[in-house]
Amino acid sequence: MNDSEVRDSRGERSSAASLAIRNRWDSPAIETRSGLVSRKLRPRSGLSLELEKKKPVILTGDLNCAHQEIDIYNPAGNKRSAGFTDEERQSFGKNFLSQGFVDTFRAQHPGVVGYTYWGYRHGARKTNKGWRLDYFLVSESIADQVHDSYILPDIGGSDHCPIGLVLKH
What does 64-115 look like in DSSP terms, one character per residue? Answer: ----SGGGBSSTGGGTTSTTS-HHHHHHHHHHTGGGTEEEHHHHH-TT----
Model confidence at 31, pLDDT cuts 50, 70, 90, reads very low
Q: Domain range for residue 65?
A: 6-167
Residue 114 is assigned to a structural domain of this protein: yes
Residue 1 is assigned to a structural domain of this protein: no
Backbone angles phi, psi at 24, to 5 degrees: -140, 155
- Domain CATH number, residue 13: 3.60.10.10
- Taking only the tens place, the pLDDT of each residue in 35-92 is 444 444 544 555 566 776 778 889 899 999 999 999 999 999 999 999 999 999 999 9
Residue 139 is assigned to a structural domain of this protein: yes
Q: How many domains does the chain have?
A: 1
Helix (H) or strand (E) holding 48: helix 37-52
User: Which is higher by pLDDT, 73 or 28?
Assistant: 73
Taking the C-alpha atoms of residue 74 and residue 129, their distance in angstroms, rounded to an integer, is 8
